[in-house]
Chains A and B, each alone.
Chain A
């Protein structure tokens, strides 16, 4: 009985540690991919495209668009930073670069993030953390360059980033924030 419980505990623990990592799958080219398709009832492809563009420009202003903005589908490159240390004492540890594809059709869209690469950061003489020269590595092969603990951590962070990206994109496409209305002023000299 005890042995069974311990095995059960170990299984749960290992599943917990791999929770984010498992969000990434492999595509037909053996590259990590995060893929999603969602229905958007009542929304045209154009509306979804415009909201998607606004989403990226607002929340990911540093993405570099690789396709003309008028194209119905979006192709761009982006990156996010990884941090080391606790929530109070921490610094940039590296960046994960990715390619993002979003395709829109009436009442649905699909997207995928892929071509993940990792660049470790180092501290420069001015106290800034900057990309280490010549150390860009594909996420699929970071096991060859980094320890298992480090590579697992970056895979987990990438999985978590993709999951959060997908959630935010969906929220934005469903419920685009309205532009701020002009502030109504109360005139006190009139009843």
Chain B
């Protein structure tokens, strides 16, 4: 019986293997094939992608002290979000819809739950826009789109560090509007658009008067720089430089620098610079540092971070350990401020000039 089964298995595999080989053999007569006509290349399929992230964080002061976005819960195994994205292109028209569920993708970043509670948090939109290619060089997009400003993003799958920078936390997350992008060459493209009066809103306060632009430069292979501007009476003016240079196959250097001047009703703003050197030490492991200097201008505008006229320096040491679609991210972060004001100390009501935390995160991207 066993022998018969083995024989049958072998025969089935022989047939299967033969058919597989036959199907990849180059046609050599041409006659049989001549009756058929090749069909034009079809549109790309419906693209489905996303990520899931979870983390453990321990702040060495014993309470959450570093105020930047995400990974805030102290001594806790916590969840980030499940992020689900869809994209479909037919001809020159495309749509992108991206939904997120979980603290990172709801009340920690999206605008409808400012009460910091999941109750009533019904919006989950990270990206929702349509776009149309007028030509291979000219694209129009409209909707609610991830911001074009800054180095870091909400999705943990697209960031190297798991915790986020002060520049990210204080910059826009999303801009709703209409934008046109023209590609002059493979080295230069320009985006210009008009956006709602405030950042991170699904609908305008009452006006659509924020102007945005992005000049993309690729001066040499493997080096890309984005010069960004968002300016409006209500949202203020942010000028931003974001650049990445893959200097060798193992070493990449990123830089983000920004200056923000507050809009109507406020004075001051913030500015800062962050450097992101990253070194791949093996196929699976990359080590990286984020060194950030962030300062708050003197005035009434109060960003997340140091108070008016003060600054903070943050060093984040991160490893990315890849196992297929899974990335394990251990991270140590040390922040220090010019004054003892922003980091809660270990005793109740006290503040210190430095803070440190450990994060162990896992991000699965698909």
Contact = CB atoms under 8 A, between A and B. Distances in A.
Interface of A: 1-2, 5-6, 8-9, 12-13, 15-16, 19-20, 23, 36, 38-40, 58-60, 81, 83, 85, 87-92, 122-129, 133-135, 145-147, 159-160, 163, 166-168, 170-172, 174-175, 177
A133 B127 contact: no
* A interface secondary structure, majority: mixed
Contacts of B20: 16, 19
B235 to A, nearest CB: 19
A127 B45 contact: no
A20 to B, nearest CB: 6
A37 to B, nearest CB: 10
Contact of A172 (B3, B38, B158, B222): B38
Contacts of B13: 9, 12-13, 16
B283 A145 contact: yes
Contacts of A19: 17, 20-21, 24
B365 A170 contact: no
A136 B366 CA distance: 21
A128 B34 CA distance: 39
B27 A91 contact: no
B5 to A, nearest CB: 10
Interface in B280-310: 283
B26 A175 contact: no
Interface in B32-80: 33-38, 40-41, 44-49
B153 A23 contact: no
A5 B4 CA distance: 11
A59 B26 contact: no
A5 B6 contact: yes
A5 B224 CA distance: 57
Given A168-B38, A172-B38, A12 B14 contact: yes
A73 to B, nearest CB: 21
A146 B283 contact: yes
Contacts of A166: 26-27
18 contacts: A1-B3, A2-B2, A5-B9, A9-B9, A16-B13, A16-B20, A23-B24, A39-B30, A85-B48, A87-B45, A90-B48, A125-B153, A127-B98, A128-B96, A135-B246, A167-B26, A171-B36, A171-B38
Interface string B149-178: 000010101100000000000000000000
A124 B26 contact: no
Contacts of B38: 59, 168, 171-172
B128 to A, nearest CB: 10
B48 A167 contact: no
A85 B34 CA distance: 34
A40 B28 CA distance: 11
Contacts of A146: 283
Nearest to A86: B48
A167 B47 contact: no
B266 interface: no
A122 B158 contact: yes
B85 interface: yes
A60 B324 CA distance: 32
A135 B21 CA distance: 33
A39 B30 CA distance: 9
B147 interface: yes
Contact of B48 (A15, A59, A91, A124): A91
A160 B24 CA distance: 7
Given A166-B27, A175-B34, 14 more contacts: A9-B10, A9-B13, A36-B26, A39-B30, A59-B41, A81-B44, A85-B48, A90-B45, A123-B158, A127-B85, A167-B33, A171-B33, A174-B30, A175-B36
A177 B221 CA distance: 40
